[in-house]
Amino acid sequence: MKKQTAMALAAVFAMSVAGTALAAPANPFVDVPAKHWAYDSINKLAQAGVVSGYGDGTYKGDKTLTRYEVATIVAKAMANSEKADAAAQKEIEALKAEFGTELNNLGVRVDNLESRIDNVKFSGIIRARYDANDDNDTSTMKQKFRTRLMIKGKINDQWTYGARLENTHDMRTTGATKDGDDDFKAGEENETDLNWAYVQGKIGAFDVTAGKFDVTPAYGIALDDTVEGINVGFGNKLKVNLFAGKEEFSDSTSDRNNTYIATLAYPISKKLNAKAAYFNVDFKDQATDNADLYEVGVDYQLTKTLNVKGVYLKNSSDEVQDQDTGYVARLDYKGANPANPGSFGMWAAYRNQEQGTFLSSTFDIDQVSAGGAKGYEVGVTYAPMKNAKWTTSYTDLKSTVNEDVKGDYFRTQVEFYF
């Protein structure tokens, strides 16, 4: 089929929309002279978006077209068919019937391309943090810059893949003892780590997550960290999550701890919720007691802006003796939302977590964790602009084993979301 033939098939359409088109551009294709018999029709086709020629600005009217090239012209005519009159629409319908197979194949190709573009989504968080800690006779200051890049890809209608890349740069580290000795290190950077890698989807009534991912059972008092294994969730009002896998919970990277977690969550009313979690951890480090730990708590929405929660922890393992109980209370007022510039919040918390009642959480107990921790924390959050949040907190702790072991923490950080 010659180019003129394809043009003639669409010319009726182009003429029908000529009244709505802007003035035709002069000489749209360098190889179509103004005196050519098809010049006006080609101009109208180009103006209507039905033909676009080749990348070098030529029309190549004498070139033999493939059926796919003709189908492309027909597809463009179809896309503008609402501008056509009844006669032109009849011609378009005839072209659709003639090139139906090619149009269908072209549609599949376009759909697949768009699907691939939308299939993978990226998001991220950049955090700049400053810490000033005073632990007994040692003061430390840290400035760290952390970047997290999250990736989520669609496998099919039921399953997705998730991953997270993380890098932390230590901009400044100082350790200054009270007698004046200084130790300064700068520019330290950890390796970029793929610390999430999981698949997630449904198998019947079960929500399944398998791989390496974060978990926050109950209120995240005992555990808020990354694990490796499989989690199965089910239930409507009463939500149940069961996890089996491994976690480090220590400085060792070679010996990983067998970990089993069961979590329950139930809304007692619109304002009152109850959560519970059970942890069974077989520590590979023989110097650490095994955990047979329970976390039970409730949270209550006192007003639209005020929320209170209380949590009780108990370790029933035989290895844990007098360090087996924990209590946590927290009061939250409002809260900063990065999507809402100007929003803010405040909180105050008190806890008495004995040695056997924590595994790995984001609470600042690492400096006194060998002996448990009790004390208070206060903080404020603020969204200075869209997709940003500023958080500042102060924590005062002492060991539950030896009250002479103390830790004071001041922290301020800014997070940017993209």
- What is the DSSP code string of 233-282? EE-SSSEEEEEEEEE--SS-SSS-EEEEEEEEEEESSSSEEEEEEEEEEE
Q: Which of 5-9, 37-41, 298-302 has the highest mean pLDDT?
A: 298-302
Domain boundary among 50, 66, 98: 98
Alpha helix positions (H), 55-212: 67-79, 86-98, 100-119
The pLDDT assigned to 9 comes to 54
The pLDDT assigned to 142 comes to 82
For the chain, percent of residues with pLDDT exceeding 70: 67
**Does pLDDT of 2 surpass 50?**
no
DSSP 3-state percent helix, strand, coil across the chain (nearest 5): 20, 45, 35
Cα–Cα dist 149/364, whole Å: 24
Cα–Cα dist 132/135, whole Å: 10
CB atoms within 10 A of CB 287: 6
**Is there a domain that residue 24 lies in?**
yes
Which letter, b or e, does each residue of 197-217 get, where b requires 16 or more Cβ atoms within 10 Å of its Cβ?
ebbbbeeeeeebbebbbebeb
**Is there a domain that residue 198 lies in?**
no
**Is there a domain that residue 272 lies in?**
yes
Indicate if 219 and 73 belong to the same structural domain: no
Indicate if 228 and 91 belong to the same structural domain: no
Average model confidence (pLDDT) across the chain? 80
The pLDDT assigned to 345 comes to 98
Q: Which domain holds residue 70?
A: 3-98
Residue 56 sits at φ, ψ, to 5 deg, of: -90, 10
The pLDDT assigned to 31 comes to 73
**Is there a domain that residue 192 lies in?**
no
State pLDDT tens for residues 332-364: 999 999 999 999 999 999 999 998 888 888 775
Q: Which of 73-87, 133-147, 184-198, 233-247 has the highest mean pLDDT?
A: 233-247
3-state secondary structure of 339: coil
CATH number at residue 401: 2.40.160.10
Cα–Cα dist 237/267, whole Å: 7
pLDDT level of residue 173 (50, 70, 90 thresholds): low
The pLDDT assigned to 75 comes to 73
**Is there a domain that residue 169 lies in?**
no
**Does pLDDT of 148 surpass 70?**
yes
Indicate if 280 and 401 belong to the same structural domain: yes
The stretch 278-302 carries a mean pLDDT of 84
Assess contact for 250 and 283: CB atoms under 8 A. Answer: yes
Indicate if 242 and 378 belong to the same structural domain: yes
The pLDDT assigned to 33 comes to 76
State pLDDT tens for residues 304-330: 999 999 999 999 887 777 889 999 999
The pLDDT assigned to 278 comes to 98
**Is there a domain that residue 122 lies in?**
no
The pLDDT assigned to 106 comes to 65
**Is there a domain that residue 223 lies in?**
yes
The stretch 269-274 carries a mean pLDDT of 97
What tokens were used for 358?
Answer: 């924590």
**Which pairs count as long-range contacts for 17-25, CB under 8 Å and 24+ apart, including other chains?**
17/44, 17/48, 17/80, 17/83, 17/84, 17/88, 18/44, 18/47, 18/48, 20/83, 21/47, 21/48, 22/47
The pLDDT assigned to 19 comes to 46
What tokens were used for 236?
Answer: 């409507």
Q: Is the full-model pTM beyond 0.85?
A: no
Indicate if 212 and 65 belong to the same structural domain: no
Q: Which of 155, 172, 167 is nearest to 211 (CA)?
A: 155
State pLDDT tens for residues 59-86: 666 776 676 676 677 776 677 666 666 7
Domain boundary among 98, 125, 145: 98
**Does pLDDT of 177 surpass 50?**
no
**Does pLDDT of 184 surpass 50?**
no
Q: Name residue, tokens 């964790």.
A: 369
Cα–Cα dist 215/241, whole Å: 10
The pLDDT assigned to 28 comes to 67
Indicate if 265 and 406 belong to the same structural domain: yes
Least confident of 5-14, 67-76, 202-211, 220-229: 5-14
Q: Which of 325, 332, 322 is nearest to 222 (CA)?
A: 325
Assess contact for 133 and 411: CB atoms under 8 A. Answer: no
**Is there a domain that residue 109 lies in?**
no
The pLDDT assigned to 48 comes to 64
Indicate if 84 and 230 belong to the same structural domain: no
Q: How many domains does the chain have?
A: 2
Q: Which of 220, 212, 218, 214 is nearest to 358 (CA)?
A: 220
**Does pLDDT of 186 surpass 60?**
no
Least confident of 38-42, 123-127, 233-237: 38-42
C-alpha to C-alpha distances, 227 to 114, 167, 302, 383, nearest whole angstrom: 34, 18, 34, 30
Indicate if 256 and 381 belong to the same structural domain: yes
Indicate if 258 and 403 belong to the same structural domain: yes
Compute, in degrees rounded to 10, the torsion defined by CA atoms 57, 61, 64, 66. Answer: 60
The pLDDT assigned to 151 comes to 96
Pairing of the two strands 193-203 and 225-234: unpaired
Domain boundary among 57, 78, 98: 98
**Does pLDDT of 115 surpass 90?**
no
Indicate if 231 and 366 belong to the same structural domain: yes
pLDDT level of residue 99 (50, 70, 90 thresholds): low
Q: Which of 48-62, 136-150, 323-337, 366-380 has the highest mean pLDDT?
A: 323-337
Indicate if 209 and 352 belong to the same structural domain: yes
pLDDT level of residue 50 (50, 70, 90 thresholds): low
| Structure-model confidence comparison of residues 198 and 321, the more confident one | 198
